[in-house]
Amino acid sequence: TDAPNGGLCVAYFDGDYPTPLYDYEEDYRRSLDDKISFYK
């Protein structure tokens, strides 16, 4: 194949198409705090 990277999606390895965290970052951090508070 002539496709870049042999046709494989490497977006999360090369940073060309990174997914921003802004849409779920706040909820993610809140849920993470809930999970790790047990260990504090």
More confident residue, 26 or 20: 26
Q: Please give the radius of gyration of the chain, using alpha carbons only, rounded to the nearest integer.
A: 17
C-alpha distances (whole Å) from 15 to each of 9, 29, 40 are: 11, 22, 34
SS3 3: coil
Question: Among candidates 33, 39, 20, 14, which has minimal Cα distance to 4?
Answer: 14
| The one-letter amino acid at 3 | A
C-alpha–C-alpha distance, residues 22 and 39, integer Å: 27
Query: pLDDT at residue 18 above 70?
Result: no
pLDDT level of residue 11 (50, 70, 90 thresholds): confident
Tell me the whole-structure pTM to 2 decimals.
0.37
